[in-house]
């Protein structure tokens, strides 16, 4: 994510994500506001399932989601991007400390 947070991101951070964390989900944040960590940052958000299936998430400029699309290409670059992202990401609860949500 990049700062400043959109209204939708603030909503997610304040109301959506904390419940998922309490339920045991390991949510981490990679802030690329000042450093892209060598990732090919394009604005394309995605999910990976089982290390092989990729879904692209498409958003409006205000941060609300439009839809999801199945990606049919090679998942290898996504596995490498995941490795790099996890190396630099911080746990959600650590990231939101000090944020005015």
pLDDT tens figures, 72-83: 999 999 999 899
Please tell me the total count of domains within the chain: 1
Asked whether residue 87 is assigned to any structural domain, the reply reads: yes
Asked whether residue 1 is assigned to any structural domain, the reply reads: no
Asked whether residue 91 is assigned to any structural domain, the reply reads: yes
Asked whether residue 2 is assigned to any structural domain, the reply reads: no
CA 36 centroid distance within chain? 13
Say if pTM beats, i.e. exceeds, 0.75: no
Q: What is the predicted pLDDT for the residue at 24?
A: 97
Q: What is the dihedral angle through the alpha carbons of 61, 66, 67, 68, rounded to the nearest 10 degrees?
A: 20
pLDDT tens figures, 11-63: 999 999 999 999 999 999 999 888 887 777 766 889 999 999 999 999 888 87
The larger pLDDT score, comparing residue 98 to residue 7, is at 7
Q: Quote the domain boundaries for residue 21.
A: 7-96
Residues recorded for the chain = 101
H helix or E strand, kind and range, residue 34: none
For β-strands 53-59 and 65-71, DSSP reports them as antiparallel
Cis peptide before 21, with omega less than 30 degrees from 0? Answer: no
């Amino acid at each position: 994510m990049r700062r400043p947070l959109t209204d939708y991101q603030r909503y997610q951070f304040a109301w959506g994500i904390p419940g998922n964390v309490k339920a045991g989900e390991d949510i981490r944040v990679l802030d690329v506001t000042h450093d892209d960590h060598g990732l090919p940052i394009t604005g394309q958000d995605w999910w990976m399932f089982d290390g092989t299936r990729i879904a692209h998430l498409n958003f409006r400029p205000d941060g609300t989601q439009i839809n999801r699309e199945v990606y049919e290409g090679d998942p290898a670059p996504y596995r490498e991007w995941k490795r790099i992202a996890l190396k630099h990401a911080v746990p959600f609860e650590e990231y939101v400390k000090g944020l005015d949500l």
